[in-house]
Amino acid sequence: MTSPLIELAGIRKSYGTGTEVEVEVLHGIDLALHAGEFAALIGPSGSGKSTLLNLIGLLEPPTAGSYRLLGQETSALSDDAITALRGNAIGFVFQFHHLLPAFTATENVLLPRLIAAGPVTAQQREGARDLLREAGLGDRLDYLPRKLSGGQQQRVAIARSLALGSPLVLADEPTGNLDTHSADGIFALMRRFNRERGTAFLIVTHDPRLAQRCDRIIELVDGRISSDRVNEVSLVTT
Amino acid sequence: MPFEWVVALRFLREGRFQTALIVSGVAAGVAVFIFITALVNGLQANTIRRTLGTQAHIVVRPIEEIAQVQRSVPPGTASIPKIEARAQRLRSIDQWQLLEQDLARTPGVVDVSPMATGPGFAVRGDASKAVAIIGVDPVRYNRIVAIGDKLVGGEFRVQPGEAVLGRELAADLGIGVGDRVRLITTENEAVTGDTLTVTGIVDLGVRDLNRRTVYVGLRTAQSLLSLPGGVSQLDLTVTDLFDAERIAAALAATTGLTVDSWMKTNAQLLAAINAQTITTRMIRLFVVVIVVLGIASVLVVSVVQKRREIGILRAMGAPRARIRRVFLLQGAMVALSGSIIGCALAATMIVVFLKLARNADGTPLFELAISPELFVIATVGAIVCGVLAAVAPAQRAAALDPAQAIRM
């Protein structure tokens, strides 16, 4: 087996460290995710799902433990090195899509490239538009986010998360505020990108119906992984 | 365009109303800054020009004579001297030709002109007027005081037997160019005095001076005032007007003569000008402070409003330094666009002011230069202030924790 994309060992996370109200949210997480996996992270509210996702996304540092991303130990990296690693290795999809409202759909997809490599070429622009066409937004390429429906905005966000060809996409409740029909579409889109491009997805979701369509289901309860299993059903049905 | 520029421009465009407000604020500040500077500079230059229109920058005169106390008092006795100040007679500067050469070589001194001046009377028929007889070398004197510009009739020619009169004096005596006038002095033994032909009439800009000024040739004055070959003062101009006092003090120390600069002679005027300068500086400082605070407060609000966007940019790999630059750039952009509008506004205000503020005769009250440097200084200054104003907001934006910013 190849070395994992991410490898967490004994990860702990506390808030309010050093104060009287110190709370430990994650109590030692061991987890590995490999290239091309399509995994769901489920669990009740307050179980630490979002915190774990933020740690994996390098948006905040763990209090203790070891986290290797693409084989690289992250705990000793500087803020700028972490930022660069995050930009290259990880795409994000959030519940409230978080597109930049002043940028069109195409421009939103181009932003990661603009950050990573400076002014974009016409070719890169066309690449971004292709990605949006694949996401089913061929007729909305130059729309501002506020002119798009929630589902369409989320499609832009997914296209954006893939813009740099990152090996891993972290999705935090990507269908959380969408109707069932849109949610199904979004889910199918992620699944397709996963199959076609080999991008690994880690999806936090409340929706057991959607979790059932993932290849692997990781369940978090009270800051501990209570179960981590391969989902045989999905392998057959989706 | 690089990332920072794109994002800064979009953020400004997105917050249209705020941006418009703060750009107007900067424009108003820049306009006031430029206009008040131009106004006060014009006013002061005008005042100084008028004052120095008839004065040399530095005047060198003989030292005043003082009465000495008799010191030899017999032992055991006290002396209670009562010293009467000596009357100052008209004297020549000792060896003035040599001194003149020294003065001309002094760094900072531009021109030197000798002058023999003293009191007398201008007489025509039954009318006699007390006057100041001013004997000059016309070419050299013209370099000190642009007397040629002040002619209202005839020409400034003071050959032997010729004189130039102030306008009011000529009117009082009923004299025109080509008429004759008699000058009498107490020193002149022949009471009949010299009869001179009036070749020109000047307006010195001050009625009082016009009423008592008679210009004659240096030789004529020397003979009228019994100063054969002598001069009563040397007039100097200097390169830097406001260096006059320093040069005067240095010259007084080296020559031992009485040396007065225009700054000392017009101390009150100078004090007024200084007070004006300080007031202007304070107004400008306040304008700058207000503009900086305005830009800063708008950007602080913008940082709060854009937390999520900043967070997402950070998540997408934008390092803190680039987020910081996005906001510094916004400060600079707001300042630049504000100052372009402000410059246009200031230019308009100056033009309108020149149209409205006129003398009774329709000539401009005073010159108000639209100097390009002032506009460049104001613009560059505004941009520097804009960036400085953005430092604190930019710091806050850069310090945002991406995880928290996104969760908001």
Contacts of B319 in chain A (CB under 8 A): 79-80, 83-84
Do both B304 and B189 map to the same domain? no
Write the residue in A100, A101, A115 that is nearest to B317 by C-beta: A115
Cα A95 to Cα A205: distance, rounded to the nearest angstrom: 10
Furthest C-alpha separation in chain B: 107
The range of the structural domain enclosing residue B188 comes to 96-256
Q: Is residue B327 part of a domain?
A: yes
Do both B195 and B281 map to the same domain? no
Do both B284 and B246 map to the same domain? no
Q: Look at chain B and report how many structural domains it folds into.
A: 2
Using a cut of 0.90, tell me whether the model's pTM lies above it.
no
* Interface confidence (ipTM) of the complex: 0.88
Q: Is residue B87 part of a domain?
A: no
Cα B340 to Cα B23: distance, rounded to the nearest angstrom: 10
Whether B319 and chain A come into contact, CB under 8 Å, resolves to yes
Q: Which of B26, B36, B31 minimizes the C-alpha distance to B389?
A: B26
Do both B242 and B143 map to the same domain? yes
pLDDT in tens, B123-137: 888 888 999 999 999
Do both B171 and B209 map to the same domain? yes
Q: Is residue B296 part of a domain?
A: yes
Do both B234 and B329 map to the same domain? no
Do both B247 and B284 map to the same domain? no
Output the CA torsion B206→B209→B213→B218 (10° steps). Answer: -90
Last residue of a domain, one of B232, B256, B280: B256
Do both B249 and B277 map to the same domain? no
pLDDT over 70 at B140, yes or no: yes
Do both B230 and B329 map to the same domain? no
Q: Give first-to-last CA distance, chain A, whole Å.
A: 24
Here the tokens at position B311 are: 């967070």
Do both B235 and B290 map to the same domain? no
pLDDT in tens, B206-261: 889 999 999 999 999 998 888 888 999 999 999 988 889 999 999 999 988 899 99
Q: Is residue B78 part of a domain?
A: no
Here the tokens at position B369 are: 């230069």
Q: Is residue B263 part of a domain?
A: no
Q: Is residue B238 part of a domain?
A: yes
Which residues make beta-bridge pairs with A219? A42, A227
| Cα B223–Cα B227–Cα B229 angle in degrees, nearest 5 | 90
Q: What DSSP letter does each residue of A132-196 carry, written as one string?
A: HHHTT-TT-TT--GGGS-HHHHHHHHHHHHTTT--SEEEEESTTTTS-HHHHHHHHHHHHHHHHH
Do both B249 and B280 map to the same domain? no
Alpha helices in B177-227 (DSSP H): 207-212, 218-224
Whether B16 and chain A come into contact, CB under 8 Å, resolves to no
Write the residue in B2, B308, B406 that is nearest to A118 by C-beta: B2
pLDDT over 60 at B406, yes or no: yes
Cα A59 to Cα B318: distance, rounded to the nearest angstrom: 12
Do both B236 and B369 map to the same domain? no
Q: Is residue B72 part of a domain?
A: no
Q: Is residue B391 part of a domain?
A: yes
Write the residue in A50, A59, A101 that is nearest to B14 by C-beta: A101
pLDDT in tens, B317-340: 899 999 999 999 999 999 999 999
| Segment B157-161 mean pLDDT | 89
